[in-house]
Amino acid sequence: MPQPSLRIDIDRLMARIDALAGVGSIEGGGVCRLALTEEDKTGRDLVVSLMRHLGLDVSIDRIGNVVGVRPGMEDGAPVMTGSHLDTVRTGGRYDGALGVLAGLEVVATLNDAGIDTRRSLAVAFFTNEEGARFAPDMMGSMVHQGHLPLEQALETTGLDQTTVREDLAKIGYLGHAPCGSVRAHSFVELHVEQGPVLERDDITIGAVEGVQGISWTEISIIGESNHAGTTPMSARKDAGYAAVCIARFARRLAEQMEGNQVATVGRLQLSPDVINVIPGRASLTIDLRNTDAGLLRRAEQRLHSYVRRIGKREDVYVAHRSLARYDPVVFAPSVIAMVERQATALGLSVRRLPSGAGHDAQAFAPNCPTGMIFVPSVGGVSHNVKEHTAPRDIEAGANVLLNVLLELAG
Ligand code: HGY
Ligand code: MN
Ligand code: MN
């Protein structure tokens, strides 16, 4: 049960966050540990050795998810926490890492206090949460929770034309444990909000209600490269122009759709990418999100019909491929209330809010009582080297995680 005086050790947690941030560190204080790269391997190795140092039983499954279990007094499914260690190319030091290291800080605190829990506790990190090199995002947790077939994930080819299986093997994390062999009694993830709400409202803890729907599409356009000077405008098959029209349509879509629709063109490539050649080929990615499932489908339909129209109008061939598709997810009311109650018991301000970002927790939500704890992001900035959360807010979030896990683990 909750131990009112028990607290995590923030200096130890910050030291571990800083140590991990030293892996793949980039200019400006951020990190780049793209999934299944050498940097990801080094980060994984560091955390696995910490798990072993804390006495956890560590298992690596066939998609490279790593779970460390602290046995409880009873057998049965563990109460689970965790997040991811991979980052985007311009990542911050808290996105993902905080959830994993705070989970391990909870274990260290219980070890120091000699506290045994009724249920086992598990701390995990999941493969390729970001989806930056290999789509979809949340790949490892989705396989772990049975939403994505293992073989399909292993066969996925990434931006560097390698497969997940090849790169997992290369970094030594093509594990043997069956995926999802460690079933969770419940799952709670601590994560930075990555948005502006908590800071704007001067609130320390977010009791997350759920995750909005996510739709990633890759659009490939084939026109005809031609001379920039000699080709009349009426005779062009300009793949580049078609691509920028689609990008502009995505922005208009976000402005016109209700339900806090967002749209992002994160990647845009033109070929041959030469100043005096009309692009013969183009590709772009469109990230659409909405808290409402029906509106997200409507936004996708409008995008697809626009893409067909622009293909005809510009006389170019256009194809689109879905890279990730997740409906909105709601977290367990019991866990949301638990986060609120434990935050209040610690004298912390707390409010409910939805998550704009995808998280590993959303894979668990259909299978067991699941929730998330947010802490404020300074300036609402994330997926940016300037990502920052104040240590006192990290301490607050980790103490709420400690007490929620203790309540769930009994
Ligand atoms: O894209 C997302 O929301 C998450 O960061 N993978
Ligand atoms: Mn994350
Ligand atoms: Mn992220």
Residue 115 alpha carbon to ligand 3 centre in Å: 33
At CB < 8 A and 24+ separation, what contacts does 236-241 make? 236/278, 236/314, 237/278, 237/280, 237/314, 237/315, 237/316, 238/278, 238/279, 238/314, 238/316, 239/270, 239/271, 239/279, 239/280, 239/281, 239/282, 239/316, 240/270, 240/278, 240/279, 240/282, 241/279, 241/314
Look at residue 5 in the predicted model and tell me its pLDDT: 86
Instruction: Output the ligand 1 site: residues, CB below 6 A.
Output: 129-131, 137, 357-358
The residue ranking higher by pLDDT, 197 or 1, is 197
The confidence band for 182, taking pLDDT boundaries of 50, 70 and 90, is confident
Choose which residue among 359, 382, 383 to substitute to test ligand 1 binding: the one with the highest number of ligand atoms within 8 A of its C-beta. 359
Q: Cα–Cα distance between 305 and 279 in angstroms, integer?
A: 23
The confidence band for 259, taking pLDDT boundaries of 50, 70 and 90, is confident
With the C-alpha atoms ordered 18, 20, 23, 26, is the resulting torsion angle positive or negative?
negative
Q: Of 385, 356, 361, give the one whose Cα is nearest residue 372.
A: 361
Distance of alpha carbon 232 from its chain centroid, rounded? Answer: 46
What residues contact residue 3 under an 8 Å CB cut-off, 6+ apart? 113, 115, 403, 406
Look at residue 1 in the predicted model and tell me its pLDDT: 52
Among the atoms of ligand 1, which is closest to the Cα of residue 129?
6
Mean pLDDT computed over 217-241: 98
Look at residue 3 in the predicted model and tell me its pLDDT: 59
**Residue 377 gets which letter from DSSP?**
P
- Residue minimizing CA distance to atom 6 of ligand 1: 130
Q: Cα–Cα distance between 184 and 191 in angstroms, integer?
A: 19
Query: Cα-Cα-Cα-Cα dihedral of 195, 197, 199, 200, to 10°?
Result: 130
Choose which residue among 94, 130, 296, 362 to substitute to test ligand 1 binding: the one with the highest number of ligand atoms within 8 A of its C-beta. 130
Compute φ and ψ for 244, nearest 5 degrees. Answer: -75, -30
Mean pLDDT computed over every residue of the chain: 97
Say which ligand is closest to the CA of 193.
2
Counting residues of the chain whose pLDDT is more than 90, the rounded percentage is: 97
| Per-residue CA distances from 157 to 131, 133, 161, 352 (Å) | 12, 9, 6, 38
State both tokens at 345: 């018991």
Question: What angle, rounded to 10 degrees, do the helices at 10-21 and 97-113 form?
Answer: 140
Look at residue 333 in the predicted model and tell me its pLDDT: 98
pLDDT at 395 over 90: yes
Residue 182 alpha carbon to ligand 3 centre in Å: 24
The radius of gyration of the chain from alpha carbons, rounded to an integer in Å, stands at 22
Residue owning tokens 């690596």: 60
Mean pLDDT computed over 316-341: 98
pLDDT for 106-153, tens place per residue? 999 999 999 999 999 999 999 999 999 999 999 999 999 999 999 999
Look at residue 2 in the predicted model and tell me its pLDDT: 53
Mean pLDDT computed over 295-307: 97
Average the pLDDT over each of 53-62, 173-182, 349-358, 370-379 and give the range with the smallest value. 173-182
Number of Cβ within a 10 Å radius of residue 301 = 10
Counting residues of the chain whose pLDDT is more than 70, the rounded percentage is: 99
